[in-house]
Amino acid sequence: MKNVSTLLHARWIIPVDGNEHCLADHSIAIHEERILDILPTVRAKETYHAQTEIDYSNHAIIPGLINAHTHAAMSLFRGMADDLALMDWLTNHIWPAENRWVNEDFVQLGTELACAEMLRSGTTCFNDMYFFPDVAARVAHKAGMRATVGLIALDFPTIWARDADEYIDKGLIVHDEYRGNALIDTAFAPHAPYTISDQPLQKIRMLADELDLPIHMHIHETAFEVDEAVKNTGKRPLQRLADLGLISPNLIAVHMTQLVPDEIDQLAAAGSHIVHCPESNLKLASGFCQVKQLLDAGINVALGTDSASSNNDLDMFGEMKTAALLAKGVSGDATAVPAHQALTMATINGAKALGISDKTGSLSIGKYADLIAVDFSSVEASPVYDPISHLVYCCGREQVADAWVAGKHIMKNRTITTLDIDRIKQAANEFSAKLNS
């Protein structure tokens, strides 16, 4: 028998590897950080001897979910300013609160809170955009999570930087610090077309091409954004970005609720990626992303939660279900975004957008063992006919029992081994009391 680090036996394994299949009574052999084999359980027990062996007889093992758009630290603003339109929410509530409260300690605590919530929701990888990306990277690494931290850029001063050049320079320092890190990647993160001018965008495009980094940006989030851009520049935001050379395979365009057919064709031809944030879009009444048309055009569409201050959670199980149901309602087509497609958007499509699909996003031999075990044994989850459909339309984040990242068992029976949950909750409640005082 061959010796391996870990052997996991499951009622179902759902690899999300390009086939819409579900493997019944299969096992995953993990050696050190990576998946060594996926095979029937009977054969696995004959073939491998493991230091750790776990029987998930009532569970589905799936790839860890990938939250492709977050502002993790903003979890400390959860529920602070609800039921408002985007620009009112931003300009009259969020930006003033950030000016008053955001500092390095805020980002550390907020990101710890977000990491704890995401892990207990089955998310093992997230794509962040916020101030102090060095702190977010440090917290994610300590939590044992995979993360792409955004090298944020704006024209105006904040506590993180004075101007666009300083944002970019400080971002490059973070990139250099985490270059080659097994868990942490970086992406340029110019906030939005309306908060950054042409010259820094041209510099970011040049650096992204040179370093082969994604460019993560809010684009066409609302009709107001598009109308204001046309009024002020004579161009829709996407046209301006195209003129600057940013419409490329490096682009991760978030929200995209306002698209015309020519723009969809343009994005498809360029190989750009889109992150759909259905629940945040709904709550802020930002509009509807045309997911079916985007997928039909061959565009890679991933899922994100946005921040817990606009959602108000970081629950990717909720996003999968909402994305599937909303696509059907918007398109008038009950076959739009079937369950397997929603799961794909929440896993491998996120990895593709982040440029890490060689590492994670599916359960494939040679990839890192980033996976979760979802418990189907409750009365609320009975009976089970199609496990993939069940995951999207029936299951909730409370059914996520265990999580593994790079072969490390970082959540066991819903207890996170890498974070002090009691301390984080207490500190978050103390911050809330201070904000409300």
Q: What's the mean pLDDT in 193-215? A: 98
Query: Which stretch of DSSP H or E encloses residue 113?
Result: helix 104-120
Distance from C-alpha of 340 to C-alpha of 217, rounded to nearest angstrom? 27
Please, is 228 exposed, middle or buried when counting C-beta atoms within 10 Å of its C-beta (0-12, 13-18, 19+)? middle
- Weakest-pLDDT range from 91-100, 213-222, 285-294, 330-339: 91-100
Distance from C-alpha of 154 to C-alpha of 315, rounded to nearest angstrom? 28
pLDDT at 143 over 80: yes
- pLDDT on residue 87: 85
- pLDDT on residue 435: 86
Encode pLDDT of 64-82 as tens digits.
Answer: 999 999 999 999 999 998 9
Q: What's the mean pLDDT in 300-309? A: 97
* Three-state SS at 392: helix
Q: What's the mean pLDDT in 105-120? A: 98
In the chain, the domains with their CATH numbers are 2-63+367-406 (2.30.40.10), 65-354 (3.20.20.140)
Q: Which two tokens stand for residue 10?
A: 């499951």
Q: What's the mean pLDDT in 407-436? A: 96
- pLDDT on residue 436: 82
- pLDDT on residue 186: 98
- pLDDT on residue 48: 98
Residue 400 · residue 374 · CB < 8 Å: yes
DSSP 141-159: HHHT-EEEEEEEE-SS--S
**Reported pTM:** 0.98
Query: Band of the pLDDT at 414, cuts 50, 70, 90?
Result: very high
Q: What's the mean pLDDT in 381-410? A: 97
- Which residue, chain included where needed, has tokens 């565009």? 299
Residue 127 · residue 252 · CB < 8 Å: yes
Encode pLDDT of 325-364 as tens digits.
Answer: 999 999 999 999 999 999 999 999 999 999 999 999 999 9
pLDDT at 167 over 90: yes
Residue 84 · residue 94 · CB < 8 Å: no
Q: What's the mean pLDDT in 36-64? A: 97
Distance from C-alpha of 333 to C-alpha of 61, rounded to nearest angstrom? 30
Distance from C-alpha of 100 to C-alpha of 436, rounded to nearest angstrom? 13
Distance from C-alpha of 437 to C-alpha of 435, rounded to nearest angstrom? 6
